[in-house]
Amino acid sequence: MELTIIGKYRALVIRPDEELDQHSAENIRTEADKLLKKTGLCNVVFDMRDVRFMDSSGIGVIMGRYRTVCTMGGMVAICGMNSVIDRVVAMSGLKDIVIVTDKLQNALEEVFSVC
């Protein structure tokens, strides 16, 4: 997992490893929340380009960060999904509440326009 702060866009970019499951979800949740609280960033972008598997724990991580940043007037975006992850995101209903783009730069620009 890689966490990157992009101050220009007031965003935390989370780039999970190959699997976003219960084993990785807790670490992502803990580290992301710590950085969001410390920095006051209001946007989160999940860069899913390396993710090959995601279960309900992954959905929970995204939903939790969505709830957190919505209270600060921010937004969550997901980018770089393959067809398998895209299907999981669509079936979960996340596509109805988060920004979905193909590229990281597009995601950053869209969340920045919200916050």
Residue 114 has pLDDT above 90, yes or no: no
Residue 78 burial (CB < 10 Å; 0-12/13-18/19+)? buried
CA distance 60 to 49: 19
Pairing of strands 43-47, 11-15: parallel
Query: 34 is in which domain, residue-wise?
Result: 2-114
Q: Report the candidate in 50, 3, 53 with the shortest Cα–Cα distance to residue 23.
A: 53
Q: Given pLDDT bands bounded at 50, 70 and 90, which one contains residue 77? A: very high
pLDDT tens-digit readout, 26-41: 999 999 999 999 999 9
* Structural domains in the chain (count): 1
* pTM for this prediction: 0.95
88-98 residue pLDDT tens: 999 999 999 99
Residue 106 belongs to a domain with what CATH number?
Answer: 3.30.750.24
The dihedrals phi and psi of 111, each to the nearest 5 degrees, come to -70, -35
